[in-house]
Amino acid sequence: MLTLNVDGAAWRQHHHDLRDAVPGLVPVAKGNGYGFGLDGLAREAMALQAPTLAVGIGREVETVRLAGWTRDVVVLNPWRSFDDVATALLDDPGVITTVSRAGDIAALRRDHPGARIIVELDTSMHRHGLRTDELAGLDLGDLRLEGWAVHLPSTGSLTEATALALAALDAARAPLWVSHLSVDDYRTFRSQVPGQTRMRVGTRLWLGAPDALRTTATVLDVHPVRRGQRLGYHQHKVPRDGQIVVVSGGTAHGIALQAPASLRTLRQRAVTASEGLLSAAGRQLSPFTIGGRKRSFAEAPHMQASMLFVPAGVEVKVGDEVPVTCRMTTTTFDRVLIS
Ligand SMILES: *Cc1c(COP(=O)(O)O)cnc(C)c1O
């Protein structure tokens, strides 16, 4: 099994510390739930007594509610007319919809008066949002403006956030929802902006205490092999005597979606291109650590398991739990064990 082991006390202590340092914190639970799963995060956010939970897309609202979330939910991805799920949520009193285009505001004003909305502003991200020159003359009709949203790049700038906030407040008074400010910058932001503020936080909340998290894979099989012996789907030759170790964790879990950094030199990329990724994988370092070192893939990872080459003499046996490096936003774990 591919397992996310969580030191529950340390993990939750971090949640409490951040909540206390960030007044108006809005936990974000979206996608794969940062590795923990959306349902797990919904329960943590309930325990944190957060008044609002942010999800990425409309479909995720049902998931967090089924997990026990009962309070307001903000959908971060801006509404589009072709998204039926998001459209149905406009009439749900517990859901706040993000809107990012003047034309969409006009459509909602007409078709869903009374909907709770947050209007997103264009920032240096340039992903979604109204430009400040579109704010003058903005007619919200009977839409309920729950806030203005400012979604900054990861290197969020206090100056930009404050300027946008003040421009928005000129158009209408509403809470200011920001992302990606440092805790100190957010404090300053609050002191410079009249009214209420909120900060939406995912990564820094759920993954901000890395020492509380340990990812492991179960050893499923160990076979001695001889140099030159063929193995795997692609029948590559084993480079030297040693052992093949089969571990949990494959492409379905999101293991090794990227070539490891060690393969990124020009020469190596040329080798990869000429021989095909699968045979190059025989030399690729895997994210699995056995006997204190990362080990090579014997071939490209399979759907739910990976075959590794481990030199003879390294002690490893079926049932061992071995460390594996995972990118948390792309990994699907078989289980999350919170101690
Ligand atoms: C995903 C998202 C966040 C949270 O981002 P993290 O980097 O995980 O904290 C905040 N705001 C918006 C609009 C988002 O889409």
Q: What is the pLDDT of residue 266?
A: 53
Q: Which atom of ligand 1 is nearest to the CA of 30?
A: 1
Q: What is the pLDDT of residue 273?
A: 45
Q: Which atom of ligand 1 is nearest to the CA of 28?
A: 4
Q: Whose CA is nearest to atom 11 of ligand 1?
A: 179
Lowest-pLDDT choice from 14-23, 89-98, 245-254, 260-269: 260-269
- The percentage of the chain sitting over the pLDDT mark of 90, rounded to a whole number, equals 89
Kindly tell me if the per-residue pLDDT of 123 is higher than 60.
yes
pLDDT tens figures, 169-211 = 999 999 999 999 999 999 999 999 999 999 999 999 999 999 9
Cα 254 to middle of ligand 1, angstroms: 21
Kindly write down the DSSP assignment for every residue of 274-328, as one continuous string.
HH-HHHHGGGPEEEEEETTEEEEESSS--SSEEEEEEETT----TT-EEEB---T
Kindly tell me if the per-residue pLDDT of 302 is higher than 80.
yes
**Mutation pick for ligand 1 pocket among 128, 200, 203 (CB with most ligand atoms within 8 Å):** 200
Q: What is the pLDDT of residue 156?
A: 74
Q: Whose CA is nearest to atom 5 of ligand 1?
A: 202
Cα 113 to middle of ligand 1, angstroms: 28
**Residue 129 burial (10 A CB sphere; 0-12, 13-18, 19+):** buried
Kindly tell me if the per-residue pLDDT of 67 is higher than 80.
yes
Q: What φ, ψ does residue 58 adopt, rounded to 5°? A: -55, -40
Q: Which atom of ligand 1 is nearest to the CA of 34?
A: 8
Q: Which atom of ligand 1 is nearest to the CA of 56?
A: 15
Q: What is the mean pLDDT of the chain?
A: 93
Average the pLDDT over 300-327 and give the result.
Answer: 97
Cα 179 to middle of ligand 1, angstroms: 6
Q: What is the pLDDT of residue 269?
A: 53
Q: Whose CA is nearest to atom 9 of ligand 1?
A: 202
Give the residue ranges of DSSP H helices in the chain. 8-21, 38-47, 59-66, 84-89, 102-111, 158-171, 183-192, 203-206, 266-275, 277-280
Q: What is the pLDDT of residue 283?
A: 66
Q: What is the pLDDT of residue 24?
A: 98
Q: What is the pLDDT of residue 151?
A: 94
Q: What is the pLDDT of residue 21?
A: 97
Lowest-pLDDT choice from 41-55, 239-253, 262-276, 280-294: 262-276
Q: Whose CA is nearest to atom 14 of ligand 1?
A: 76
Residue 264: pLDDT band by 50, 70, 90 thresholds?
low
Q: Whose CA is nearest to atom 4 of ligand 1?
A: 202
Cα 200 to middle of ligand 1, angstroms: 6
Cα 251 to middle of ligand 1, angstroms: 25
**Separation of alpha carbons 2 and 22, rounded Å:** 33
Q: Which atom of ligand 1 is nearest to the CA of 203?
A: 8
pLDDT tens figures, 144-165 = 999 999 999 988 799 999 999 9
Question: Rounded to two decimals, what is the model's pTM?
Answer: 0.91
Cα 28 to middle of ligand 1, angstroms: 7
Lowest-pLDDT choice from 56-70, 152-166, 308-322: 152-166
Kindly tell me if the per-residue pLDDT of 243 is higher than 60.
yes
**Mutation pick for ligand 1 pocket among 76, 127, 177, 204 (CB with most ligand atoms within 8 Å):** 76
Cα 217 to middle of ligand 1, angstroms: 29
Ligand 1 cavity residues, CB under 6 Å: 28, 30, 76, 151, 179, 200-204
Alpha carbon of residue 293 to chain centroid: 27
CB 326 within 8 A of CB 313: no
Q: What is the pLDDT of residue 180?
A: 93
Kindly tell me if the per-residue pLDDT of 275 is higher than 50.
no
**Separation of alpha carbons 109 and 267, rounded Å:** 58
Kindly tell me if the per-residue pLDDT of 106 is higher than 60.
yes
Q: Whose CA is nearest to atom 7 of ligand 1?
A: 203
Q: Is the dihedral of CA 42, 4, 178, 13 positive or negative?
A: positive
Cα 305 to middle of ligand 1, angstroms: 31
Q: What is the pLDDT of residue 257?
A: 63
